[in-house]
Amino acid sequence: MLGAIIGDIIGSVVEFNPIRTTEFEALNPKCEFTDDSVLTLATAEVLLLGGDYAEAYRRWGRAYPGRGYGGRFAQWLRDDAMGPYNSLGNGSAMRVAPIGWAFDSLEETLDEARRSAECTHNHPEGIKGAQATAALIFLARQGKEKPEMKEYVEKTFGYDLSRTPDEVRKTSRFDETCPVSVPEAFIAFFGADSYEETVRLTISFGADADTQACIAGGIAEAYWRADPERAIPKAWEEFARKTLDAPCLRLLDDFYKQRVR
């Protein structure tokens, strides 16, 4: 989960000022946590304390206004009577990372990812984006290697992951939908050799930087967590912890103590 939040924070300053290079100042003082981190933490809270995803997303979203929520989601936040709105946006995938850490079977992971998505993103593509992201985190936790992980996602969800990061960078554009942005985030992970490279590659696509780095970063954390040379850089973790506020940090730490294994 921390890997997703760090990706969001580092990508925040270029979401609307796209870059197409991996050479950039990662720990920019202007970085902040966005809706991606807020809703990721809301997901973690449900896993720790139980409850309803819709209620948690509304409560956290209202507690942190102005964090870059999409138009339809912002409307949903304000209106308690509004149900799911058939979204295929990448919001379902960017908030799902904690689910990849919380269960002992792939079936449970997929079921919970669906549940987290469908309160807003009940379009089949919205659900698929959440499930595929959570599944990759789960498989990384299980020690699966990249070829097996890639084959699973391609066969199960139908994503085309054949392009290289360089090929994606040449044609990528800002697109907040799961069918476009989720496989691009996966391609960055599969083309990288460390957590840091994953985030840098994702942001270099010049697209939905914070959300795609959140998605890819969550997977990369799980994959390289046991390798100190390739895991989240300590300086990046310290930077993120200084960026988050006290309630966010408390929940983050509680989740790692109770559910990450």
Q: How confident is the model at residue 259 (pLDDT cuts 50, 70, 90)?
A: confident
Instruction: Look up the CATH number of the domain holding residue 120.
Output: 1.10.4080.10
The answer to whether position 236 is within a domain reads: yes
> What residues are paired with 89 via a beta bridge?
177
The answer to whether position 212 is within a domain reads: yes
The answer to whether position 25 is within a domain reads: no
The answer to whether position 243 is within a domain reads: yes
The answer to whether position 24 is within a domain reads: no
Residues 6+ apart with CB under 8 A from 53: 42, 43, 46, 115, 116, 119
Burial (CB count <10 Å: 0-12, 13-18, 19+), residue 234 = exposed
Give me the pLDDT at residue 159, please: 98
Phi-psi region of 178 (alpha: psi -120 to 50; beta: other; left: phi over 0): alpha
97-101-105-111 Cα dihedral, nearest 10 degrees: -30
Residue 177 DSSP one-character state = B
Domain total in the chain = 1
The answer to whether position 23 is within a domain reads: no
CA angle in degrees (0–180, nearest 5) for 63-10-166: 135
Residue 117, classed as helix, strand or coil, is: helix
Q: What is the pLDDT of residues 155-190, one digit of tens each?
A: 999 999 999 999 999 999 999 999 999 999 999 999
- In the numeric block, the tokens 């990249």 are attached to 146
How far is the C-alpha of 45 from the C-alpha of 174, rounded, in Å? 30
Q: Which domain holds residue 91?
A: 2-18+31-258
Tell if the pTM clears 0.85, that is, is over it: yes
The answer to whether position 213 is within a domain reads: yes
The helix-helix angle for 71-78 and 53-63 (nearest 10°) equals 100
